[in-house]
């Protein structure tokens, strides 16, 4: 018990909060991006419709790991480049020196003098950005399909009553689409949870990092007073992910039952009309 209470194990326990924080922050951001992309793809304006369709198609067509590695790097370099041009405007040379990206010390993010938690938070937010962009495209595809599944007759009825396009969207299409989107969104939520171990590839000390670190008999820097215990540490991760998935399924099941109230009567009436 004393060994399980060491500083490294405390960091291991805290890394579970990092994973949960990533999921809880990324999910609403991805939903917002997905809703914007889905709404844009249905727009009658070509210049609005095209970016939404390109975003959904491009991100879904590229392997996730490529975006998880590309987006943090691209965002980091873009921020540092802008800061370099503003703060170090007297330096006129190119920031690209061969294969190296070099900016002045004051333009680096975060600064080398910043506290450790600032570096950790900055890396975490870059990871959130990458996850939100990737899963926002998947959410956009799900929501676009759900919008298309809403019976056209309901929308035409709204127009017949004199509603504007915006009123039909918010009062008819938006409330009705969730019953069709929920199954796909629940699968997307599970995929988001399953993708959190990729934080390890972004240099964040998540649960996978600490499980491998603490479960090994020794690393390049430390030797531990136990044999190879990685199977036990990864068993803890297995139980954790199964528990989170089980809780998620129960929550989505209740949401589905609540949203489905009255839908059976609506579908029966549609079948009768058909």
All structural domains of the chain? 3-273 (1.10.3720.10)
Contact 211, 233 (CB under 8 A): yes
pLDDT at 115: 84
Look at residue 68 in the predicted model and tell me its pLDDT.
81
CA dist 210 and 196 (Å) reads: 14
By three-state DSSP, how is residue 29 classified?
A: helix
Query: 97: which strand partners?
Result: 100
Does residue 238 sit in helix, strand or coil? Answer: helix
For the chain, the residue count is 274
Q: How far apart are CA 136 and CA 35, in angstroms?
A: 8
CA-based torsion, 266, 267, 269, 270: positive or negative? positive
Alpha carbons 207 and 198: distance in angstroms, whole number: 10
pLDDT for the residue 263: 57
Quote the pLDDT of residue 273: 46
- Cα–Cα distances (Å) from 246 to 118, 181, 251, in that order, read 34, 20, 9
- Identify the pLDDT of residue 272: 47
β pairing state of 96-97 and 100-101: antiparallel
Nearest to 128 by CA among 248, 17, 15, 27: 27
pLDDT beneath 70, residues of the chain: 1, 3, 217-227, 261-274
Q: Is the dihedral of CA 220, 221, 226, 230 positive or negative?
A: negative
């Amino acid at each position: 018990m004393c060994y399980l209470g060491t500083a490294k194990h405390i960091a291991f326990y805290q890394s579970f909060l990092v994973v949960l924080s990533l999921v809880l922050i990324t999910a609403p951001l991805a939903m917002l991006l997905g809703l914007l992309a889905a709404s844009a793809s249905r727009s009658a304006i070509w210049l609005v419709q095209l970016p939404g369709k390109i975003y959904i198609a491009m991100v879904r067509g590229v392997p996730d790991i490529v975006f998880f590695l590309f987006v943090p790097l691209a965002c980091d370099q873009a921020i540092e480049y802008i800061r370099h041009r503003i703060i170090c405007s007297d330096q006129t040379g190119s920031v690209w020196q061969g294969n190296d990206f070099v900016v002045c010390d004051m333009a680096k993010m975060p600064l080398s003098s910043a506290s450790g938690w600032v570096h950790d938070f900055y890396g975490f937010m870059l990871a959130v950005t990458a996850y939100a962009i990737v899963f926002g495209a998947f959410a956009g595809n799900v929501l676009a399909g759900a919008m298309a599944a809403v019976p056209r007759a309901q929308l035409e009825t709204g127009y017949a009553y004199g509603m504007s396009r915006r009123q039909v969207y918010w009062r008819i299409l938006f409330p009705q689409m969730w019953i069709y989107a929920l199954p796909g969104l629940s699968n997307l939520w599970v995929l988001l949870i399953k993708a959190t171990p990729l934080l390890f590839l972004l240099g964040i000390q998540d649960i996978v990092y600490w499980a491998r670190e603490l479960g090994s008999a020794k690393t390049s820097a430390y030797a531990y007073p136990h044999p190879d215990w990685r199977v036990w540490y990864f068993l803890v991760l297995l139980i954790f992910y199964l528990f989170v998935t089980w809780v998620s399924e129960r929550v989505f099941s209740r949401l589905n039952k609540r949203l489905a109230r009255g839908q059976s009567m609506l579908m029966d009436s549609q079948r009768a009309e058909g």
